[in-house]
Structure 1
Amino acid sequence: MTPSTNALAPPSTPRLRIEPTRSGRTLLDGGWWPRSTDPLAELPGLVRAIDRLRGPIVRLVLNADTWDGNPRSLAVDGRVLRLGYFTSQPASLLTAICRNDDRVDLLVVPPETEAGLAEAAMALAATAGNLVHAPRLLTAAGAMSAGRTDSAGRRAREGGSPRTAPDAPPTGPCHPAGAKPAGRHPPPQPAPASAAPPPRQRRTGDVHTVTPEEQTMTIARHTIVSALRRRGQHTRADWVERELPTQVDTTRHAGLLATLRLDPAELGEPTAG
């Protein structure tokens, strides 16, 4: 019997970024940048890495048009995993179903992507509270990188010294604690003779109980936009106008405000909710 291709060579070390806190308030669990579209060459290393972090994988769900050959099974460390391919699964998304019924959703960065953009996209995908869906994440990372470059060039022309910008676009926890946002990618609809992955189970350890002492403080979105435009950070200001609510919660969006280098105390008096 001829051995399978993935048994002939050891899996390469995956280029993988995983959100470390297992937050229940994020769209994705991390990002992965494969070196090719050969599933037998790329998937074993990824499976082993996720096994160590989240528990043994029993099934992978992938886009039907992205991968070469679409093999239906994969042998890794003495066990066989099922591979499901769906046209409804975004090409930029891979879903791993673990034995404990946990689910890991990863951004898939195309192999030919430029290194700086790939790293920025993976960093955003692995950020707790990320608001950007996988199909839009590369575009968002590219826009934010361009915004940092424009801002640095503008400061240099004005005689100032560029400040160090964060590695990823601004993100922050913007959804009720302990629950995945409604916009998270739902399990794909199955193609004939395939079953869709089970729904993601809520991680009860992430549930946060709001105490009476906690208050909801908000800042008007236009105040944040105005502060960014005064700095010349128009790309970030445009992103805030598109993605954030009219009133920005200073607690849930604390990570976002820190990434934007904005101090709520300097933006005016927050409004109590």
Structure 2
Amino acid sequence: MAAARWGVRRAGHGWLPRGPLSGADPRGRRSDVQQCAGQGIEEVTIATTAERATAVPTGPPTHPRLVLAPDRLNRAVLDGGWWPRSADALAELPGLVLTLAARFGPIRRLMLNSDSWDGHFRRLAVGDRVVRAGWFATVDAAVVIATTEQGMQIDLLVVPPGTGAAAAEAAMATAADPANRLRAPAILAERPAVDGRPGAGDSQSVWDNEGGHGAGPAVR
């Protein structure tokens, strides 16, 4: 099966390499995808048959470990932080989409790093809606970008699943802090990848049993 091919195409110029995707900037600063559209460049994606099919979750959505900023401010770098339990996109994304939709309205599209997730479907069935998913090597692994039906862009820090509870909670709290000026990779760089406390390896049970911590409303 042929691999998916993606890039940008300008009339009369053939295929052009994609530049870095700016990602985290929902307030007035356009992403590279939007900038390409404004310059007459068409983003073209050729997906495999499996990728074109709509992915349907086999179980109920999980409750996301998510901390959102109390208010969306134009000057904020991020809108919150998300700590998925695994790299299984089909298992993790439906719960995130439903929770974001309850706060911001229906979600139309997700953009994620292509190397950090298993299962690169192009469409995802969530409830009675279908959400489009885009997978890009140029989207930072520390970010997931959601776009609502009204065009609002929501940028979230993605904390690696294996991160210890204390480090993950601190990173999500920073991302949800309206005063934060650090971008997602810088937030993760300041936190140890694994919590050194005894017994901290079972990060999922710690979060689920204790209810989560950190600044801003925790969504469980």
Counterpart of 1:74 in structure 2 is 124
Q: Deviations along 1:179-222, whole A, 9 cap, x unmatched?
A: xxxxxxxxxxxxxxxxxxxxxxxxxxxxxxxxxxxxxxxxxxxx
Structure showing greater relative contact order (alpha-carbon pairs closer than 8 Å, 6 or more residues apart) = 2
Counterpart of 1:12 in structure 2 is 62
Pairing 1:139–2:189 present: yes
Report the 3-state secondary structure (helix = DSSP H, G, I; strand = E; otherwise coil) of the residue aligned with 1:7.
coil
Counterpart of 1:125 in structure 2 is 175
Counterpart of 2:138 in structure 1 is 88
Q: Deviations along 1:96-138, whole A, 9 cap, x unmatched?
A: 0100110000000000001100000000000002111111111
**Count of residue pairs brought into register by the alignment:** 146
- The Cα of 1:79 is off from its aligned counterpart by 1.3
Find 2:111's aligned residue among 40, 61, 82. 61
Q: Deviations along 1:136-175, whole A, 9 cap, x unmatched?
A: 1112245xx99xxxxxxxxxxxxxxxxxxx967xxxxxxx
Structure number with higher strand proportion: 2
- The Cα of 1:7 is off from its aligned counterpart by 3.1
Identical pairs, percent: 48
Structure number with higher helix proportion: 1
Paired residue type of 2:105? G
Counterpart of 1:27 in structure 2 is 77
Distance 1:167 1:73 in 2: 33
Distance 2:133 2:163 in 1: 25
Structure 1 segments unaligned to the other structure (5+ residues): 147-165, 169-273
Report the 3-state secondary structure (helix = DSSP H, G, I; strand = E; otherwise coil) of the residue aligned with 2:146.
strand
Counterpart of 1:115 in structure 2 is 165
User: Is the CA contact 2:90–2:119 (under 8 Å) kept in the aligned structure 1?
Assistant: no
User: Is the CA contact 1:6–1:44 (under 8 Å) kept in the aligned structure 2?
Assistant: no
User: Is the CA contact 1:59–1:97 (under 8 Å) kept in the aligned structure 2?
Assistant: yes
Distance 1:84 1:133 in 2: 21
- The Cα of 1:93 is off from its aligned counterpart by 0.2
CA distance 1:8–1:119, change in 2 (3 Å): same
CA distance 1:167–1:58, change in 2 (3 Å): closer
- The Cα of 1:4 is off from its aligned counterpart by 7.2
- The Cα of 1:78 is off from its aligned counterpart by 1.4
Paired residue type of 2:164? E
User: Is the CA contact 1:6–1:41 (under 8 Å) kept in the aligned structure 2?
Assistant: no
- Aligned CA-pair RMSD: 2.4
Pairwise mapping of residues 1-273 of structure 1 onto structure 2 (< 5 A)? 6-142=56-192
Structure 2 segments unaligned to the other structure (5+ residues): 1-52, 197-212, 216-220
Distance 2:81 2:214 in 1: 14
CA distance 1:92–1:117, change in 2 (3 Å): same
Distance 2:90 2:191 in 1: 29
